[in-house]
Amino acid sequence: LRILFPLVVFVSGLATASYFFSNNILPVANLRFHSLLWDVTRKKPALNLQPGIFYNGIDGFSIRAMQKDQDGTLHDVLIYDHRTPFQGNRTVLRARKGTMQRSKAGEYLLLILEDGHFYDERSPAKDRGKYPLMRGTFRVDEIRLDLTGLGLDRTDRDLFKDHYKMLSSAQLEIGMDSLRRQFGKRTEEQRDHLANGFAIIRKNAPHPGLLLNYTLRPTTEDLTAEQLRNSHEVAMNMVRSNISFLDQTANERESREEQIARFGIEWHRKRMLALACLIFFFIGAPLGAIIRKGGMGLPVVFAIIFFLIFHIVSFSTEKLVISGAFGPWPGMWVSSMVLIPIAALLTWKATTDSPLFDADAYYRGWERFRSWFRRGHAHPPAL
């Protein structure tokens, strides 16, 4: 233990530094990284294009490319031009390949298309039969888009600063408290909205305050068949509206609960990873002392196995926390709870010089058990 004491002090300092880094430096680094990534993807739209998926990030255009090379070259390009409002996709361009790049001054986005054709329908919707359909082919076509009004300068970091990955522990606590208050306020608003459409008239209501002073009277006796049919239709519409509102409310509650859970996950993760440094030290250090064969290779193999256990359990429980099956506590600490007893056992075995992973020791124990078993049956008791 006296030999391990300096290492324990070093690893404790490392765990403290890990928490300081994840709490103070990593959020700032994440903020700068995501801001820069946003700027790059905005200034180079080809980075946002996914093969076979329409991209609508450029105002007035829907662009699809079936294939994208590493240099940004696009193949089998299909473009719908709907810059004219309320006119639909009147102009369609299709090209064998194309590229997207910014002009030297950065004021324009250039769409350079090669070997393609276009369809242009200029007719109004009412008199479509009186106007011709324009179609044509081209070898090279260049579409120039003015970017001066799109604000593609450096992004204001306030756009990302409230994301849970960009917050320290204190900011996460403030964020969770704010989200819970908003959640409670929104729940009350939804309850009031539903209460306005219903009247509680059950005589066996659990609380007298829930009963409303209603005088029940027949409502359908004086109605004609047409009026009765209309009332049924109104009632069905109200039911559908309430069902739709309840579905929307359930989705909103699920989204808000997931957001709160993600804030809690990030708050616990900063502390859990710091503790993991100590746990893995008390697993790795005893392994080197206990495993006496195989050099450095065998302890490393066991250490990797324990790390995989930690990673798989952490990943699985995090998904359960996000889904609402567990709370951030103890969900984010299950992996640590699994490894702490293992670390304690290995440390105890190392301090007592126990041959935990010595195959010869297990073989000798097995031989002693066999010899004892044989002696017990070699001389049966006399009758």
Write the pLDDT tens digit of every residue in 58-99: 667 788 888 888 777 888 888 887 766 555 567 788 888 888
Q: How many structural domains is the chain composed of?
A: 2
Within a domain: 290:
no
Within a domain: 272:
no
Q: Taking 60 as the threshold, does the pLDDT of residue 343 lie above it?
A: yes
Q: Which of 243, 265, 299 is the last residue of a domain?
A: 243
Q: Taking 50 as the threshold, does the pLDDT of residue 149 lie above it?
A: no
Q: Which pLDDT does position 1 carry in this prediction? A: 58
* Residues 6 or more apart whose Cβ sits within 8 Å of residue 226: none
Of the listed ranges 250-264, 266-280, 284-298, the one predicted with least confidence: 284-298
Within a domain: 55:
yes
| Mean pLDDT confidence for 345-351 | 79
CB atoms within 10 A of CB 145: 19
pTM of the model: 0.54
| Mean pLDDT confidence for 127-140 | 69
Within a domain: 132:
yes
Within a domain: 231:
yes
- Asked whether residue 131 falls in the same domain as residue 208, the answer is no
State the residue range of the domain holding 194. 170-243
For residues 20 and 145, the model is more confident at 20
- Asked whether residue 55 falls in the same domain as residue 119, the answer is yes
- Single-letter amino acid, residue 198: F
Within a domain: 185:
yes
- Asked whether residue 135 falls in the same domain as residue 176, the answer is no
- Asked whether residue 114 falls in the same domain as residue 186, the answer is no
* Residues 6 or more apart whose Cβ sits within 8 Å of residue 42: 57, 152, 155
Write the pLDDT tens digit of every residue in 12-53: 888 888 888 888 888 877 777 777 666 655 555 555 677 878
Within a domain: 355:
no
- Whole-angstrom distance, CA of residue 334 vs CA of residue 28: 28
Write the pLDDT tens digit of every residue in 328-342: 888 888 888 888 888
Summary mean pLDDT of the chain = 74
* DSSP conformation letters of 237-251: HHHHHHHHHHHHHHH
For residues 121 and 80, the model is more confident at 80
Q: Taking 70 as the threshold, does the pLDDT of residue 169 lie above it?
A: yes
Q: Which of 193, 223, 243 is the last residue of a domain?
A: 243
